[in-house]
Amino acid sequence: MFPSFKVKVTGLNPKTKYILLMDVVPADDHRYKFADNKWSVTGKAEPAMPGRLYVHPDSPATGAHWMRQLVSFQKLKLTNNHLDPFGHIILNSMHKYQPRIHIVKADENNGFGSKNTAFCTHVFPETAFIAVTSYQNHKLSLR
């Protein structure tokens, strides 16, 4: 994902282990186009692909680890390939998406998933974006 998503984490118990995850969900039910220097709605969105979660590669780690510096999701990969076998987040081009961060308290086996697992989800509206497969800007010279 470009630019990569980075977040400052605070308020965790320094000694407790946590798992950080990210998913990307549809922000609305529209399809977009870019014309006349602006984005506009062109119709109804295509059905969303089943959601995938990206587990941060440092997971699980202590709260102290997560709070030490910015947490970067630079290794998260996006694709428009609906048959992707690599676990990348699948998006439809020209659709608007919202990244979400999930902080999950790891259980005694450094996992998650029990019905009593403590977690929280954070959404930053300023990170919503429209997925594209290429940039078309005559002012850019890519060599």
Q: What is the pLDDT of residues 40-95, one digit of tens each?
A: 999 999 988 778 999 999 999 999 999 999 999 999 999 999 999 999 999 999 99
- pLDDT over 90 at 130, yes or no: yes
Return d(Cα 95, Cα 45) in angstroms, integer: 7
Alpha helical stretches, state H, the chain = 63-68
**Would you state the pLDDT for residue 141?**
58
Model confidence band, residue 133 (pLDDT cutoffs 50, 70, 90):
confident
What residues contact 4, with CB distance under 8 A and at least 6 apart? 72, 73, 74, 76
Return d(Cα 38, Cα 32) in angstroms, integer: 10
**Would you state the pLDDT for residue 135?**
66
Q: Mean pLDDT of all residues in the chain?
A: 90
With beta carbons less than 8 A apart as the criterion, state whether 90 and 29 touch. no
- pLDDT over 80 at 30, yes or no: yes
**Would you state the pLDDT for residue 137?**
61
- The torsion angles phi and psi of 83, rounded to 5 degrees, stand at -105, 20
Return d(Cα 57, Cα 68) in angstroms, integer: 16
pTM of the model: 0.86
